[in-house]
Structure 1
Amino acid sequence: MRASLHGVALWLAVLFLVACTRLGPDFQSPGEPWTKTWNSPAIEHASHRQHSPDLRQWWQVFSDPTLERLIAESDVHNSSLKIAGLRVMEARAQLGIAQSQRYPQLQQASADTLYAKRYQSGGSNPRDSRFWQYSAGYDIGWELDFWGRFARAIESADAAYFAAQANYEDALVLLRAQVAMTYFALRTTEARLRVARENAAQQLRNLEITEKLYASGQIAELDVQQAKTQYLGTSSSIPSLEDQAARTRNALAGLIGQPPGALSLRDESTGLIPLVDRAVLQDVPAELLLRRPDVRAAELNVAAQSALIGVAESELYPSLTLLGSIVWSTDSLSGTSNNLDLVGGPSLRWNLFDHGRIRNNVRVQDARLQQLIEAYREQVRQAAREADDAATGLIKALERERILRQAAQAAQRSLVLANTWYREGYSDFQRVLDAQSALLQQQDNYLISRSDAVNNLVALYKALGGGWQSDQPLVDPQTRQSMEQRSDWGNLLTPPTAAPPSAAAALKVTDHD
């Protein structure tokens, strides 16, 4: 008896140890050593450290209420962002499917009511009979997770869920940068349009003066035609700028979820776009790069695929399933008994001959893992390059802006002098035309240079992952109400906890659960 108990205890210990086994590799972060010490002189030169404004709300550095309003509206109404939030809900439901494998996979209740009519012929007592047959049963099947197949599947689904959250945050980063760039592009185009109209008005006055002077015989027709050519050339640029402004306004309207033509900006957005010469950072660039949402998503994709190797390897080994059934049956015939059957026991299944299908599937999963590792490393390098390029672009755009500002001031002074000398007869009209052309060109170049500087600043914030947090729910109330009317979502649509900053943290959450 004692030997029997020892055998049972040993068998249970073996089952426990095997049940704790997880096939396949444990996740290892694919990070590269250079990211720990990487630094960019351009980023250091183009940024400074302070606590406010937070990198997650970098647009506050411009102190532009209109921009803040547009970003707030895009958070609520942008369709691409809504889709990204719904993909988080989809991944959350997929995680629930994976977690359900921890419990008995087959739990089925059945009930049958059958009518039977039997015809008997031959024999000593042939007769017909009719009766009802009733049965009810409950079947259960529970495949034990000997090799960690279900645990690895949960691990993969959990990493995929956090990757979906990181993708949502990446959508926020891209959206806010795009809103800011489109908004500043609109203001730049409108400023260029004002400059073109002002220069066209000035050139029209010069044309009218030359026509009067020509009519009185004081100048030649050549001066009139040159003035007219310049005026019409400047005027021809106005429709193109108006078209560009309209298209940019419609693009901005689309980003905040409005139809074309519905966007209205306040009057305070008519001046020069704000020029900020430094980015505000709260951490070193290397740490900010690794916290970029798209980099975290790439790392979490590696974690999800790493777990799938264990799922594939588990198919190489036998599976043990505990089966059980309870069936009660009776019929309407007199004299027959009621039956209650209790059936239970283990079932062992092992796919011994698969002609290499399972092993090749393991290789497929491993090859996919290595692809994602390389994709993660490339993503980090791309992030570093984007940040360095944007910082360099900001520095050089600011240098160009300072030069062009002086050039525009010099062109303005040149036009004043040219007009004075022409009126006093010290120079011909060609110098006035040249000064007017130079003024328009330098003023336009100056506005474009300011836009380039601002775009590079926004690109630097985007490259460092700024703007990834939002107070808005992943699913807005109206959409949530529509979804709950169609399906029972339980508590899945409630705001989930924030995603961990790394895949390793996500897997710790999984292990804890």
Structure 2
Amino acid sequence: MHASRIRRPRLTDCVIVGLASLLSGCMRVGPDFHPQHEPWSEHWSSTSLEQVTQQAPQPDVRQWWRMFGDENLERLMEQADAGNGDLQIAGLRVIEARAQLGIALAGRYPQVQQASAEALASAQKRSDGFDPRSGVYLQYGAGFVVGWELDFWGRFARAIESADAAFFAAQANRDAALVLLHAQVAETYFTLRTGEARLRIARENAQLQKRSYDIAQKLFKAGETDELDFQQANTQYLGTLSSIPELESQIVLAKHALSLLMGRPPGPLPELGVSSGKGGVIPLVDRAVLQDVPADLLLRRPDVRAAEYQMAAQSALIGVAEADLYPSVSLLGTLGFSASSLKGSPSTLAVAIGPSVVWNVFDHGRITNNVRVQDARLQQLTVAYQNTVREAAREADDAATSLIAASRRDAILNEAQGAARRSLTLASTIYREGYSDFQRVLDAQRALFAQQDAYVVNRRNAVGSLIALYKALGGGWTTRQPLVDAATRQQMQQRTDWGDLLNEVSVPSEGAAR
């Protein structure tokens, strides 16, 4: 028969283990995180914001660009969500943070897991020298060691808390990437539209000035006027003509920028459709439609939420560092088996279990200063969070102020371009009738070109201010696209066993962030 020896745990061991298990996870050293909202941010607003915002259910601030009613812009947004490289990286960082959270969660399980096996061949001869069976026999054994540090002081719980906050921070950073992407697409699109409108104006004025140049040339050749009128008309016409290549270049560059935002090389943009080439008037929208008060939108802004989650993650790391000041209580267990091929030799099964206490008594100075380091980092993040909120408020107020100014200038510039058009008509009539010189016609043409161009540029500034306002309030943080697209998911799964992780992580939502 095989003999076995099992070491039974003593009563004192059972008592210690029971108490340790009872207290495991019940104590958490370090501070519990509390949001550091400044009093002003809870009820913040401004006179400028009140003038340019209105409460309404539609359009949703998460898709604010729909208020322009531009199908081209909406198609560009969808393509940018699907192909933008920065957004894809932000989504992969969410996956990375989720895997990091899985590492932290592993602290709940035994930290030491070792298995070993060995076999030894030995030769043995009988005393009379006769060895009918070669005299070789085997000794073999196997062992398993488990060490489980109990979360007596909440070290692992705090680590999980930190990783969890970092995971939500990664989600908020992806939301912030969406906000930035949508603002950039809209900005670039209206830069393109503005370039087309300015190009149309430049070509129309060039044609108008070309007619004046032709008239001046004929009169000069006929001897009815001197060369001055002819050269002035030629100078003005060529100056306007020279602006056309620059505007054409701006349009091409804007298209290149849109291609990059959509994750493509420079090339055709079928999303623009046929209406984009018409160079229509830039829309004027002087109100931002909000579903909530500015103060709440400000605190829900993705980069503000990310800064707050980073504070929470760092706060938990203080507890992780502080847990090193206290003894670590672990359960150690071993299981061993050994046997031999010799007939009649016994096999052995040994089991041992008991507590272990480790205390870094002589590292008190290092540990204490590490706690201080983590606390200083938390304070830095606290100040950074408060600065982020203040900067967000400044951006929103600046955008609102600029929108008010652009809206006021719109009516004035529209009236100014009408007056300039009328002035040119009068100046041309008086010149043809011989009551005025050609200089007044040139001045009127120059004024008309300048006022028409200023009107379009101001419309572009108004749209840019509206986009900046929505961006400052965190609008546009949602998308229907998954964190990882199908092609990327397939590529990653071919390299690594991701299990269900690539499918489990959901698209961040406003509710989850709060």
Select the residue among 148, 158, 161 that pairs with 1:152.
Answer: 158
Distance in 2, Cα, partners of 1:198 & 1:213: 23
Instruction: State which drifts further: 226-235 or 340-349.
Output: 340-349
Number of the residue aligned with 1:26? 32
Select the residue among 286, 310, 313 that pairs with 2:319.
Answer: 310
Q: 1:494 to 1:18 in 2, by over 3 A?
A: closer
How far apart are residue 280 of structure 1 and its match? 0.2
Number of the residue aligned with 1:227? 233
Q: Deviations over 1:112-143 (max 9, x none)?
A: 34445799xxx999999754432222221111
Is 1:275 matched up with 2:284?
A: yes
Distance in 1, Cα, partners of 2:459 & 2:383: 38
How far apart are residue 17 of structure 1 and its match? 3.5
Distance in 2, Cα, partners of 1:46 & 1:297: 27
- 8 Å CA contact retained: 1:135, 1:329: yes
> Equivalent residue of 2:468, what SS?
helix
Number of the residue aligned with 1:510? none
Q: 1:482 to 1:497 in 2, by over 3 A?
A: closer
> Equivalent residue of 1:420, what SS?
helix
Total equivalences in the alignment:
500
Number of the residue aligned with 2:79? 73
Q: 1:232 to 1:129 in 2, by over 3 A?
A: farther
- 8 Å CA contact retained: 1:321, 1:347: yes
- 8 Å CA contact retained: 1:133, 1:331: yes
Number of the residue aligned with 1:373? 382
How far apart are residue 476 of structure 1 and its match? 0.7
Distance in 2, Cα, partners of 1:16 & 1:406: 81
Number of the residue aligned with 1:421? 430
Number of the residue aligned with 1:508? none
Is 1:400 matched up with 2:409?
A: yes
- 8 Å CA contact retained: 2:175, 2:477: yes
Q: Deviations over 1:89-112 (max 9, x none)?
A: 000000011011111122333333
Number of the residue aligned with 1:194? 200
- 8 Å CA contact retained: 1:324, 1:344: yes
User: Superposition pairs for residues 13-52 of structure 1, below 5 Å?
Assistant: 13=19, 16-17=22-23, 19-52=25-58
Select the residue among 357, 360, 363 that pairs with 2:369.
Answer: 360
Q: Deviations over 1:244-269 (max 9, x none)?
A: 22111101110011211232422222
Instruction: State which drifts further: 381-390 or 333-342.
Output: 333-342
Q: 1:477 to 1:503 in 2, by over 3 A?
A: closer
Q: Please provide the CA RMSD for this pair.
A: 2.5
- 8 Å CA contact retained: 2:298, 2:393: yes
- 8 Å CA contact retained: 1:144, 1:319: yes
Q: Deviations over 1:34-80 (max 9, x none)?
A: 11221111111001111000110100110000000000110100000
Q: TM (normalized to structure 2)? A: 0.92
Q: 1:495 to 1:8 in 2, by over 3 A?
A: closer
Distance in 2, Cα, partners of 1:139 & 1:11: 17
- 8 Å CA contact retained: 2:325, 2:364: no
Select the residue among 253, 276, 291 that pairs with 2:259.
Answer: 253
For structure 1, the 5+ residue unaligned runs are: 506-513
Distance in 1, Cα, partners of 2:394 & 2:47: 13
Instruction: State which drifts further: 244-253 or 444-453.
Output: 244-253
> Equivalent residue of 1:314, what SS?
helix
Q: What residue identity is the alignment partner of 2:354?
A: G
Number of the residue aligned with 2:140? 134
Distance in 1, Cα, partners of 2:23 & 2:90: 41
Distance in 2, Cα, partners of 1:129 & 1:421: 130
- 8 Å CA contact retained: 1:315, 1:358: yes
Number of the residue aligned with 1:462? 471
> Equivalent residue of 1:353, what SS?
helix
> Equivalent residue of 1:233, what SS?
helix
- 8 Å CA contact retained: 2:482, 2:506: no
Q: 1:200 to 1:314 in 2, by over 3 A?
A: same
Distance in 1, Cα, partners of 2:123 & 2:448: 105
Distance in 1, Cα, partners of 2:237 & 2:124: 106
Select the residue among 143, 152, 169 that pairs with 2:149.
Answer: 143
Number of the residue aligned with 2:115? 109
Q: Deviations over 1:2-51 (max 9, x none)?
A: xx999977984575246400000001111111112211111110011110
Q: What residue identity is the alignment partner of 1:398?
A: S
Instruction: State which drifts further: 270-279 or 292-301.
Output: 270-279
- 8 Å CA contact retained: 1:25, 1:309: yes
Q: What residue identity is the alignment partner of 2:241?
A: S
Q: What residue identity is the alignment partner of 1:75?
A: D
Q: 1:487 to 1:10 in 2, by over 3 A?
A: closer
Q: 1:14 to 1:349 in 2, by over 3 A?
A: closer
Q: Deviations over 1:278-314 (max 9, x none)?
A: 0000111001101111111111111100000000000
Number of the residue aligned with 2:171? 165
Q: What residue identity is the alignment partner of 2:502?
A: L
Q: 1:9 to 1:349 in 2, by over 3 A?
A: closer
Number of the residue aligned with 2:421? 412
Distance in 2, Cα, partners of 1:438 & 1:114: 102
How far apart are residue 342 of structure 1 and its match? 1.5
Distance in 2, Cα, partners of 1:484 & 1:316: 42
User: Superposition pairs for residues 210-225 of structure 1, below 5 Å?
Assistant: 210-225=216-231
Distance in 2, Cα, partners of 1:223 & 1:504: 69
> Equivalent residue of 2:362, what SS?
coil
User: Superposition pairs for residues 482-501 of structure 1, below 5 Å?
Assistant: 482-497=491-506, 499=508
Number of the residue aligned with 2:3? none
Q: 1:412 to 1:115 in 2, by over 3 A?
A: farther
Q: What residue identity is the alignment partner of 1:103?
A: Y
Q: 1:31 to 1:129 in 2, by over 3 A?
A: farther
> Equivalent residue of 1:289, what SS?
helix
Distance in 2, Cα, partners of 1:91 & 1:42: 39
Distance in 2, Cα, partners of 1:436 & 1:117: 113
Q: What residue identity is the alignment partner of 2:95?
A: M
Q: Deviations over 1:327-356 (max 9, x none)?
A: 222234455332222222212111111161
Instruction: State which drifts further: 98-107 or 5-14.
Output: 5-14
Distance in 1, Cα, partners of 2:124 & 2:305: 70
Distance in 1, Cα, partners of 2:374 & 2:491: 38
- 8 Å CA contact retained: 2:17, 2:331: no
Distance in 2, Cα, partners of 1:171 & 1:504: 15
Q: 1:304 to 1:126 in 2, by over 3 A?
A: farther
Number of the residue aligned with 2:4? none
Q: 1:5 to 1:328 in 2, by over 3 A?
A: closer
